[in-house]
Amino acid sequence: MTNFLRLTVGEIQRMNKYQILPSSLFVILFWIGFLYFVDDTFINQMFAILVFVDASIMSIIFVGATMFFEKQEGTFRSLMVSPIRKSDYILSKGVSIVVSNLLTVVLLFAFVYWVKGANINLIGFIAGVSLIGFFHAILGFWMSFYAKDFTSLIMRSSLYMIVFVVPVILVELQVIQTEWFAYVLYIIPTQASMNVLNAAAGIPLETWEIWVSASYLLAVTIGIFFITLKKFDVFAQKEGGQ
Amino acid sequence: MFQVEQLSYTYPNGNEQTLKDVNFHVNKGEIFGLLGPSGVGKSTTQKVLTKLIQNYKGAVLYKGKDLTQYGKDYFEDIGVGFEMPVHFSKLTAEENISFFKKLYKNPADTDALLKRVGLYDDRKKKVSEFSKGMKVRLNFVRAMINQPTMLFLDEPTNGLDPVNSRIIKNMMKEYRNQGGTILLTTHLMNDVDELCDRVAFMANGTIAEIDSPKNLKQKGSARTVIVEYMSGNKQKTDVFNLDTIGTDDAFLSIIQQHKLLTMHSQETTLEDIFIQMTGVKIDD
């Protein structure tokens, strides 16, 4: 087993011990309750929206929580004097959050499939959520660089939600129906995320839209990973060296 | 083991240099003490040597090779014991040790280490249930987890009772006797006196003095002996020159004809030297 896998397994175990995974399960139960009351006609769309929220905003908050536990308990320092690559450390954070996201997808899928009889492309969702969850986990990791404490991260996450997540949902629910606004949203990665999930949910989209969205999401994920990797030394020095 | 040359460092957004042309070396198989009051740069120096700080000026050579040339394998070779606890509090001691142990190619027998520091029976307890002393001992096990050849220890006995402090100090001596090298940072001058082969006093970001504790004490000592004795019913005190004491008639007369109460050479303590070198009292 490589150190990347050891870090990932350790991260998932700690997410359980620190009540992050149980919190995630509690949120899933809440969403299952919500989906129970959704009309079958809209179940695919609502499923995609809930998965979108989980893979975006919840990923940022969960990775932030793990970072702040590590900073608070000094374990970040201990990890920084261990024989691990910084890329392995960052990747392990992203992958363990994706595991949590996939747990949400599988449990919600099981509910809508067996209880609501929905026809959803599970493989498509797994692929989409892996990309969206990973992107947002790395974004959350990067945001925690600049957050003084967990409250500060929550404030930043809320701002991100208002600016990047809520408008996408409002357009999705047709609360905002202005056509130009929908196109403006194409410049933000959350709209690309929604498009990818909509495609998996069987909501009609142009083929080019799906490919452009997936490619865009992949590009920004690679971009933010390398930016985070580059900034990591400054962060590690700030947290471990000062 | 280490050669530090012209090491300087300024923290980002810092106005003043924390380290100013620091020069010293650490020999293989010695316990090297880095002493000084808070804020003079000893922790910063240790962070440079443990690669927690990287954009410094000057040169740091480890085993003859520039520290910047080492990758993650450097951490296979060193062990770091932090002053503050560095454990996942919601995991047990065993889970903490197991997690970190798996990251190394050459892990130590951690059960033996836990037994030695008296934590084996508590290994299934969550670290959050540990006392301060237990966490300090677990820090030491964490530092030794990879059988390092170089050990950095920051206040390793701080918060320990005398029995556990003795265990840790004995383990440090054994480690040194088996060829290991230790860079020790501590405020406890008794530990320094007992453990260190050489010590460096830091003041204002530079090294003020480096020598063995014995030499430092001799350098700072007054070459005198104070004798307290009874003369009739009265207690008297006289001071004699240590270099001429064997031929000093007054001294010889006192020891032959009077009842001696005490007799002390004026060897200075490391604490006195610390205050003298740094201008700061230990408690500060």
Question: According to the model, what pLDDT value does residue A149 have?
Answer: 85
Structure confidence by residue, pLDDT tens digits, B261-276? 999 887 777 787 777 7
Q: Are B152 and B79 in contact (CB under 8 A)?
A: yes
| B80 at interface of A, judged by CB pairs closer than 8 A | yes
Please check whether residue A203 touches B, CB under 8 A.
no
State the pLDDT at residue B112: 96
Q: Which of A2, A7, A72, A78 to substitute to test the interface with B, most B CBs within 10 Å?
A: A78
> Where do the structural domains in chain B lie, given as residue ranges?
30-43+72-217, 222-266
> What is the sign, positive or negative, of the torsion defined by CA atoms of A226, A228, A232, A234?
positive
Range of the domain at A188: 3-241
- Report CA-CA distances (Å) from B242 to A58, B246, B263: 76, 8, 12
| A12 CA: distance to closest CA in chain B (Å) | 12
Q: What tens-digit pLDDT sequence spans chain A (242 residues)?
A: 799 999 999 999 999 999 999 999 999 999 999 999 999 889 999 999 999 999 999 999 999 999 998 988 989 999 999 999 999 999 999 999 999 999 999 999 999 999 988 888 999 999 999 999 999 999 999 998 888 888 898 999 999 999 999 999 998 888 888 888 877 888 888 999 999 999 998 888 889 989 999 999 999 999 999 999 988 888 887 776 55
SS3 string of A173-230?
Answer: CCCCCCHHHHHHHHHCHHHHHHHHHHHHCCCCCCHHHHHHHHHHHHHHHHHHHHHHHH
Is the pLDDT assigned to residue B181 strictly greater than 90?
Answer: yes
Can you tell me the distance from the alpha carbon of B129 to that of B136, in angstroms, rounded to the nearest whole number? 13
Q: Which of B53, B85, B89 is closest, CB to CB, to A241?
A: B53
CB contact residues (below 8 A), chain B span 125-154, against chain A? 142
CB contacts of A13 in chain B (<8 Å) are 91, 95, 99
Task: Give the nearest partner residue to B54 out of A82, A233, A238, using CB atoms.
Answer: A233
In this predicted structure, what is the pLDDT of residue B131? 94
Which residue of A13, A18, A75 is in closest CB contact with B86? A75
Q: How confident is the model at residue B284 (pLDDT cuts 50, 70, 90)?
A: very low
Which chain A residues are closer than 8 Å to B73 by Cβ? 83
pLDDT greater at residue B1 or residue B219? B1
The alpha-carbon gap from B102 to the nearest alpha carbon of chain A, in Å, equals 7
Task: Read off the pTM.
Answer: 0.85
d(CA A183, CA B2): 60
d(CA A218, CA A216): 5
Whether B84 contacts chain A with CB within 8 A: yes
Name the residue type at position B170.
Answer: N
Minimal Cβ distance to A241: which of B52, B85, B142: B52
Q: Which residues of B180-199 are buried (b: 16+ CB within 10 A; e: fewer)?
A: bbbbbbbbbbebbbebbbbb
Q: What is the torsional sign of CA A2, A5, A11, A14? A: negative
ipTM (interface pTM): 0.87
How many domains are contained in chain A?
1
Residue B279: pLDDT over 70: no
Question: How is domain B30-43+72-217 classified at the CATH fold level?
Answer: Rossmann fold (3.40.50)
Average pLDDT of the residues in B211-234: 86
Find the mean pLDDT for residues B85-107. 94
Sheet holding B19-26, edge to edge: B19-26, B2-9, B57-62, B65-66
**Count of A–B CB contacts within 8 Å?**
79
Closest Cα of chain A to B81: distance in Å?
9
- Cβ distance B51 to A233 less than 8 Å, yes or no, reads no
Mean per-residue pLDDT for B5-28? 91
Instruction: Compare B242 and B28 and report the one with higher pLDDT.
Output: B28
- Give the chain A residue whose CA is nearest to the CA of B139: A78
> Which residues on chain A are in Cβ contact (under 8 Å) with B91?
13-14, 17
**Does A82 contact B at CB distance below 8 Å?**
yes
User: Residue B8 class from Cβ within 10 Å (0-12 exposed, 13-18 middle, 19+ buried)?
Assistant: middle
